[in-house]
Chain A
Amino acid sequence: LAKTTQPISMDSYEGQEVNITCSHNNIATNDYITWYQQFPSQGPRFIIQGYKTKVTNEVASLFIPADRKSSTLSLPRVSLSDTAVYYCLVGVRNRDDKIIFGKGTRLHILP
């Protein structure tokens, strides 16, 4: 399982774009990168998943460079409700591999 490293915490302001970078230097060829969001007292919620280059959905964008040793979650125009912990996970699709969570990034959005 590829280990991931993220900043422990980040602060930003409403309306700003927030970029959270995750390092995964030993990512394997078959590994996908998935980001989850967790609010207090709730289970994590899927945000976005990608393998390479760029993926965009209605919530966020995920940028993955060619070497795939890192990835950046981009949240456009954040609001107070985006205050949460964000986890970057690396694993294989179509297989029930156990997922080990890193510490995540605690994002705090200020008014």
Chain B
Amino acid sequence: GAVVSQHPSWVICKSGTSVKIECRSLDFQATTMFWYRQFPKQSLMLMATSNEGSKATYEQGVEKDKFLINHASLTLSTLTVTSAHPEDSSFYICSASDLTQGNTIYFGEGSWLTVV
């Protein structure tokens, strides 16, 4: 079945640095991917919609200059957390739909970011 893979699964970075998280659809093409963040014991919060070949669409309250999204190919979207701060520490999850298989949404394994 369809698989969405994220990398890295966990990362620790220093305050002020930037970190990139990759999201890949392994056996299907995804013109649209979604990025979520999730704090412990809370639900997933949609951050942005990643559109292949065009700018991402950000949800209200999400800083586009802080969370840079690039969707350069039909199988890869990246989320870069710039100038990371401890409050950016969270679980980041991406998702993509295989439109050839109805609208079943597949989620990546998630990436834990810890900013120290």
Residues of chain A having any CB pair with chain B under 8 Å: 32, 34, 36, 41-46, 49, 87, 91-104
Q: Are the C-beta atoms of A43 and B34 separated by less than 8 Å?
A: no
Contact A103 B102, CB 8 Å, known A41-B112, A43-B95: no
A43 CB contacts on chain B under 8 angstroms: 4, 6, 93, 95, 107-110
Q: Are the C-beta atoms of A49 and B34 separated by less than 8 Å?
A: no
Complex-state Cα separation, A43 to B46, whole angstroms: 13
Complex-state Cα separation, A14 to B94, whole angstroms: 32
Measured as residues with beta carbon below 8 angstroms from the partner, the interface class of chain B is 20 to 34
User: How many A-B residue pairs lie within 8 Å, measured between CB atoms?
Assistant: 60
Q: Write the chain B residue with the least CB distance to A46.
A: B104
- Asked if B32 is at the interface of the complex by the 8 Å CB criterion, the answer is yes
- Asked if B97 is at the interface of the complex by the 8 Å CB criterion, the answer is yes
B16 CB to nearest A CB, Å: 26
Complex-state Cα separation, A99 to B59, whole angstroms: 12
Q: List 26 A-B contacts (CB under 8 A).
A: A32-B103, A34-B105, A42-B109, A42-B110, A43-B93, A43-B110, A44-B93, A46-B104, A46-B105, A46-B106, A49-B104, A87-B43, A92-B103, A93-B102, A94-B103, A96-B31, A96-B49, A98-B34, A98-B46, A99-B34, A99-B46, A99-B95, A99-B105, A101-B44, A101-B45, A104-B43
Choose from B31, B43, B108 the contact partner of A103 (Cβ within 8 Å): B43
- Asked if B28 is at the interface of the complex by the 8 Å CB criterion, the answer is no
Q: Are the C-beta atoms of B97 and A96 separated by less than 8 Å?
A: yes
Contact A96 B43, CB 8 Å, known A41-B110, A43-B108, A91-B103: no
A99 CB contacts on chain B under 8 angstroms: 34, 46, 95, 105
Q: Are the C-beta atoms of B107 and A101 separated by less than 8 Å?
A: no
B37 CB to nearest A CB, Å: 11
